[in-house]
Structure 1
Amino acid sequence: MDQITHDVRTAQWAEIVRKCHERPENQTAKAWLNENGIDVKQYYYWQRRLRILAAETTNKSLPKTRSSEEVTFVEMPSLNELPAERTEEIVSSSGPAALIRVGKIEIELHNGISDELLGKILKVAAYAC
């Protein structure tokens, strides 16, 4: 494949990957790909190639394993242990209840977050680091 053909295909697949990421929230990637007549294996092949290309372009290497940096945990009091007026202030606050920063990743957690969503966020953050 010559360079021009490669560049054109890369641009076409970059557009397909972008559109797939902009699909409706309630639609899976597989459903979107089937709806648009795109082969699932080809899509993930090109998505991987585009990610590698992006990493090379930004002079960053892709992580082979998790970071070996140590994780620090901080004990936080439960709402039941705080005075009532402080509890009301925290619950009614529109700002984040917690802010987690790891490298360039920043995660804001608000009161009322479900255990399921928190678990998913932590799994994604662990993979990204």
Structure 2
Amino acid sequence: MAEQTSLVAQQVRLMHWAEQIRECQNRPEGMDVSTWCEQNNITKANYYYRLKRVRQMCLDQLPEAEKPAFVELSRLKAERTATVPEVPVMCIKNGHGLSADIFSSVSPQLLRCLVEAFSHVE
């Protein structure tokens, strides 16, 4: 029972952190992460720790066959809106040299098309 309670507490904490990440990513244009963190009483290091944990939680929920490979890529130019920072939230690649930066503003339809395209390249 204590293990289940601990697991629930961890999930609630991660969901709270995910909401904080969303709020930071939607901060006003021109505001940097440091300023947002200061205004929200969180250290910058703690913000990035939470970001890493939330991303890992999302990856852990994917079936093994669907997990993308992460690699560091040179920055690609992408359209952005005033509320979305130009920082990719995910980088995917396949075994044939194709790669893509995925931004938080990507539509579900485009993401689905990218996944399909990456899975059909030989």
Q: TM-score, normalised by structure 1?
A: 0.48
Residue 37 of structure 2: which of 19, 33, 37 is its match?
A: 33
Aligned length: 75
Partner in structure 2 of residue 50 of structure 1: 54
Runs of 4+ in 1 over 3 A off after TM superposition: 64-70, 102-106
Contact 1:52 1:62 in 2 (8 A): no
Identity of aligned residues (%): 25
Alpha-carbon separation, structure 2, partners of 1:46 and 1:9: 10
CA radius of gyration, larger in: 1
After alignment, is 33-42 or 53-62 more displaced? Answer: 53-62
* TM-score normalized by the length of structure 2: 0.50
Structure 2 gap segments, 5+ residues each:
74-92, 103-122
Q: 1:105 to 1:8 in 2, by over 3 A?
A: closer
| RMSD of equivalent CA atoms | 2.8
Tell me, what secondary structure is at the counterpart of 2:13?
Answer: helix
